[in-house]
């Protein structure tokens, strides 16, 4: 198993499931987003403060590979690895695993950047520092 920079545990809620009794495909992106946001907080960043400064972190590409379905009540965890793609772009490699036996549920690759108030690419210094640290 990969060594993840961050890991967050979840439990599927009833309202996240569709008529077939499985988690709706769009909900997986919410799980991944929540894990990214919690990770970014560990870097000392606050989304509201960034927005006040005119900086917004945005997703520019999302690729998901579904391996199996989650059902109501399932416990699972999401792991992520942050990678630098270029001076202004980063990618999160994210996976979701079903507990207790760590069965792979989903593999995801989320690419992002920062955008300043003028609509130009700009990363907060904390993100740049983390990218340099993590590689």
Q: Which pLDDT value is given to residue 37? A: 94
Domain that holds residue 110: 6-134
pLDDT tens for 30-47 read 999 999 999 999 988 888
Judge whether 13 lies within some domain.
Answer: yes
The per-residue pLDDT of the chain, averaged, comes to: 93
Q: How many domains does the chain have?
A: 1
pLDDT tens for 65-112 read 999 999 999 999 999 999 999 999 999 999 999 999 999 999 999 999
CATH number, position 42:
3.10.129.10
Catalytic residue positions, numbered: 18
Judge whether 80 lies within some domain.
Answer: yes
Judge whether 1 lies within some domain.
Answer: no
Which residues are CB-contacts of 52 (< 8 A; sequence separation ≥ 6)? none
Judge whether 25 lies within some domain.
Answer: yes
Q: In what order do the strands lie in the sheet with 103-115?
A: 6-11, 75-86, 89-98, 103-115, 56-66
Q: Which pLDDT value is given to residue 135? A: 61
């Amino acid at each position: 198993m990969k060594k993840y920079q961050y890991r967050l545990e979840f439990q599927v809620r009833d309202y996240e499931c569709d008529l077939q009794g499985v988690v709706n495909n769009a909900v997986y992106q919410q799980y991944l987003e929540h894990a990214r946001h919690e990770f970014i907080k560990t870097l000392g960043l606050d989304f509201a403060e960034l927005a006040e400064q005119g900086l917004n972190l945005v997703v520019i590409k999302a690729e998901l590979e579904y391996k199996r379905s989650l059902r109501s009540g399932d416990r699972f965890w999401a792991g992520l690895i942050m990678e630098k793609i270029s001076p202004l772009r980063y990618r999160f490699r994210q996976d979701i695993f079903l507990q207790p036996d760590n069965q792979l549920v989903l593999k995801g690759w989320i690419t992002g950047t920062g955008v300043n108030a003028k609509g130009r690419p700009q990363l907060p210094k904390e993100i740049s520092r983390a990218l340099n640290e993590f590689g």
